[in-house]
């Protein structure tokens, strides 16, 4: 069994100089903690140390000595060697020493051959609960600049973070900050702008290398930021944090399961009663009526109703296709007038929630319909609060508020339910986390008995659906199927768009501070 589960970590050190042999990689030098060696420099021009005999000594605040003993293998004789390492600052020196200790522990203790011949490996909490193929695709996605740009260009999102940090300088000035999932490093740079003493930017994807580059290009701030490449579940930090900053929100708040990493970071790195930005998150839910959307989804399966498709009867698969389309949550920005009852919300307090609490989330639903209509499903959105000492700022993804890259999410039921004004709708949204970094959503909505005999509390009609949050239908740029004539359709569309844009213009940025 190969010891391939051990993590590789990288550091940038100012320079190294070799004691025994002349010639060293030119500064600055990348130091890589690998399962087989500690390597300084690139593949072609490097100095390597064996994990078993390697030792690290502190010579001063910014300087350390790395040594390894002479050894003899079947192939070659290796001589004792040593390099002095020059760090740019004390924090980098401490972070390097921490990573060194962790590397020795992982490689020499956990990764070593056991007497029975089995090689143990350090499998982190992340690797334990997430499928390797899903994690690979996930970090590959975030390793690309274009996706970081997409998030950075969501000005509602990034502007809210910027405002929340800079309006609450008091929470950052002179404090140690950990940026959980730093991506491009943008939030670390904001924290440094707000006067942080030191920021540890932890990022697992290849983006960590770009973050280093971006941060190095901002020299006034870069002295106070250390990028650490690795998962928050695995890396070691040289000191505790006074405040965590992160953007761990996915569609419906919980998609991607990064909230769990945010909670793990709290448990591992935050001082007791330290701050978290964001502090709480809320999922809001309300039933909606949208005849066009329902028909659009149902019509997608019409293809499978053909009895003579090149001489083939496709109808045996119609039912499965119909179900399949309704198992996709719809992501788009909808008109809030489609909601038929005031929303209810489920709160997740990031400062107290346990990681395990996020494996299964159960939300009982209860609404009173304000109109008589056909209900097609449940509309959901979220907001998060930055509970700063100076300003409390909300970032909302609500319908009618300025649109974010998260849009809103709607779970459409195969069977709509009919309600009268004042009729009670009950149900349940049960979300179960899965290994592909997302959730299975089980939704039930029921129309309660209404009118004479209502006090008996019976159910008149129930509709249920099972949806996979990992496979949404991104509807934003899709043409829509409308049952009415083209003229009527255009008029109606224009009216809807006008009022939507007007609502956005009127409410403007104030909505950010005013949770729905």
Select from 7, 224, 231, 346 the one that contacts ligand SAM (CB under 6 A): 231
- The active-site residue out of 247, 291, 296, 455 is 247
Rounded CA gap, 513 and 344, in Å? 19
The verdict on 139 binding ligand SAM (CB under 6 A) reads yes
Applying CB under 6 A, the span of 86-94, 184-192, 415-423, 438-446 interacting with ligand SAM comes to: 184-192
Select from 24, 186, 280, 297 the one that contacts ligand SAM (CB under 6 A): 186
Considering beta carbons, is residue 403 or 437 the nearer one to ligand SAM? Answer: 437
Tell me the torsion sign for CA atoms 369, 371, 376, 381.
Answer: negative
Output phi, psi for 126, to 5 deg.
-65, -50
Buried b (16+ CB within 10 A) or exposed e, 123-134: ebebbebbeeeb
Q: How many CB atoms lie within 10 A of CB 173?
A: 11
Rounded CA gap, 282 and 147, in Å? 25
Q: Which of residues 94-133 bind ligand SAM (CB under 6 A)?
A: 126
Considering beta carbons, is residue 183 or 399 the nearer one to ligand SAM? Answer: 183
What pairs with residue 53 in β-bridges?
none
CB of 232 to ligand SAM, least distance (A): 4
Is residue 291 annotated as part of the catalytic site, yes or no? no
Q: How many CB atoms lie within 10 A of CB 278?
A: 24
Estimate to the nearest angstrom the gap between the alpha carbon of 331 and the chain centroid: 17
Select from 204, 252, 339, 412 the one that contacts ligand SAM (CB under 6 A): 204
The verdict on 203 binding ligand SAM (CB under 6 A) reads yes
Is residue 256 annotated as part of the catalytic site, yes or no? yes
Select from 39, 184, 222, 423 the one that contacts ligand SAM (CB under 6 A): 184
As to burial, measured by CB atoms within 10 angstroms (0-12 exposed, 13-18 middle, 19+ buried), residue 93 is: buried
Among 240, 229, 5, 236, which Cα is nearest to 124's? 5
Considering beta carbons, is residue 97 or 129 the nearer one to ligand SAM? Answer: 129
The verdict on 202 binding ligand SAM (CB under 6 A) reads yes
The verdict on 276 binding ligand SAM (CB under 6 A) reads no
CB of 363 to ligand SAM, least distance (A): 24
CB of 154 to ligand SAM, least distance (A): 9
Select from 233, 242, 290, 383 the one that contacts ligand SAM (CB under 6 A): 233
Residues 489-508 as x/- pattern, contact with ligand SAM by CB under 6 A:
--------------------
Query: Cα 270–396–152 angle (5° rounding)?
Result: 75
Output phi, psi for 18, to 5 deg.
-95, 135
CB of 391 to ligand SAM, least distance (A): 19
Rounded CA gap, 98 and 254, in Å? 32
The verdict on 232 binding ligand SAM (CB under 6 A) reads yes
The verdict on 205 binding ligand SAM (CB under 6 A) reads yes
Select from 6, 164, 182, 286 the one that contacts ligand SAM (CB under 6 A): 182
Residues 385-404 as x/- pattern, contact with ligand SAM by CB under 6 A:
--------------------
User: Which three-class secondary structure state does DSSP give residue 137?
Assistant: helix
The verdict on 247 binding ligand SAM (CB under 6 A) reads yes
E strands, 333-407, in order: 344-349, 360-368, 373-387, 392-396
Contacts with ligand SAM: how many residues (CB under 6 A)? 23
- The active-site residue out of 203, 233, 256, 260 is 256
Select from 142, 172, 200, 292 the one that contacts ligand SAM (CB under 6 A): 142
Considering beta carbons, is residue 232 or 339 the nearer one to ligand SAM? Answer: 232
Considering beta carbons, is residue 231 or 448 the nearer one to ligand SAM? Answer: 231
What pairs with residue 348 in β-bridges?
281
Using an 8 Å Cβ cutoff, are 113 and 120 in contact? no
Rounded CA gap, 293 and 338, in Å? 11
CB of 301 to ligand SAM, least distance (A): 33
Applying CB under 6 A, the span of 78-86, 225-233, 327-335, 357-365 interacting with ligand SAM comes to: 225-233
Rounded CA gap, 108 and 111, in Å? 6
Considering beta carbons, is residue 148 or 423 the nearer one to ligand SAM? Answer: 148
What pairs with residue 474 in β-bridges?
331
The verdict on 433 binding ligand SAM (CB under 6 A) reads no
Buried b (16+ CB within 10 A) or exposed e, 58-92: eeeebebebbbeeeeeeeeeeeebbbbbbbbbebb
The CA R_g of the chain, rounded to the nearest whole Å, is: 28
Among 1, 90, 5, 83, which Cα is nearest to 48's? 83
Applying CB under 6 A, the span of 167-175, 196-204, 356-364, 449-457 interacting with ligand SAM comes to: 196-204
The verdict on 162 binding ligand SAM (CB under 6 A) reads no
CB of 196 to ligand SAM, least distance (A): 15
Estimate to the nearest angstrom the gap between the alpha carbon of 390 and the chain centroid: 27
Tokens encoding 209: 């290398």
Interface contacts to ligand SAM, rule CB under 6 A:
126, 139, 142, 148, 151-152, 181-184, 186-187, 202-205, 207, 231-233, 247, 258, 261
Would you please indicate which residues are annotated as catalytic (active-site) residues? 247, 256
């Amino acid at each position: 069994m190969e010891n391939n589960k051990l993590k590789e970590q990288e550091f940038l050190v100012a320079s190294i100089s070799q004691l025994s042999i002349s010639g060293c990689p030119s500064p600055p030098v990348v130091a890589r903690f690998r399962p087989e060696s500690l390597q300084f420099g690139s593949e072609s021009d490097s100095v390597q140390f064996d994990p078993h005999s390697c030792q690290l000594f502190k010579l001063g605040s910014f300087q350390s000595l790395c040594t390894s003993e002479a050894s003899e293998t079947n192939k070659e004789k290796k001589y004792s060697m040593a390099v002095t390492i020059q760090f740019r600052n004390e924090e980098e020196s401490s972070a390097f020493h921490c990573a060194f200790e962790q590397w020795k522990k992982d490689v020499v203790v956990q990764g070593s051959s056991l007497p029975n011949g089995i090689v143990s490996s350090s499998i982190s909490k992340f690797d334990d609960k997430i499928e390797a193929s899903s994690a690979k695709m996930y970090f590959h996605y975030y390793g690309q600049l274009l996706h970081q740009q997409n998030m950075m260009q969501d000005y509602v999102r990034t502007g809210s973070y910027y405002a929340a940090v800079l309006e609450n300088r008091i929470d950052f000035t002179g404090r140690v900050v950990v940026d959980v999932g730093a991506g491009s490093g943008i939030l670390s740079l904001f924290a440094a702008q707000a006067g942080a003493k030191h920021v540890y930017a932890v990022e697992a994807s290849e983006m960590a290398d770009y973050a280093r580059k971006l941060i190095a290009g901002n020299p006034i701030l870069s002295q106070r930021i250390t990028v650490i490449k690795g998962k928050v579940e695995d890396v070691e930090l040289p000191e505790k944090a006074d405040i965590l900053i992160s953007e761990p929100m996915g569609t419906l708040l919980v998609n991607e399961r990064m909230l769990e990493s945010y909670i793990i970071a709290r448990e591992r790195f935050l001082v007791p009663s330290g701050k978290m930005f964001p502090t709480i998150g809320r999922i809001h839910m309300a039933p909606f009526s949208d005849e066009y959307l329902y028909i659009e989804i149902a019509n997608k399966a019409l293809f499978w109703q053909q009895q003579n498709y090149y001489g083939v009867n496709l109808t045996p698969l119609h039912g499965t296709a119909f179900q399949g389309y309704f198992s996709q949550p719809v992501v788009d920005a909808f008109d809030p007038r489609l909601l038929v009852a005031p929303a209810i919300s489920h709160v997740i307090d990031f400062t107290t929630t346990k990681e395990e609490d996020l494996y299964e989330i159960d939300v009982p639903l209860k609404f009173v319909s304000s109109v008589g209509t056909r209900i097609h499903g449940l509309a959901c959105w979220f907001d998060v609060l930055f509970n700063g000492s100076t300003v409390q700022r909300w970032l909302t993804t609500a319908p009618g508020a300025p649109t974010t890259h998260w849009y809103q999410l709607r779970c459409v039921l195969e069977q709509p339910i009919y309600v009268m004004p004042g009729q009670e709708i009950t149900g349940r949204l049960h979300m179960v986390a899965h290994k592909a970094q997302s959730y299975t959503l089980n939704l039930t909505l029921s129309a309660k008995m209404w009118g004479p005999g209502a006090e008996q509390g019976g159910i008149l009609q129930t509709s249920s659906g099972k949806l996979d949050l990992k496979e949404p239908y991104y509807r934003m740029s899709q043409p829509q199927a409308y049952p009415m004539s083209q003229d009527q359709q255009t008029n109606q569309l224009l009216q809807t768009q006008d009022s939507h844009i007007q609502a956005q213009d009127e409410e403007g940025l104030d909505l950010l501070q005013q949770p729905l």
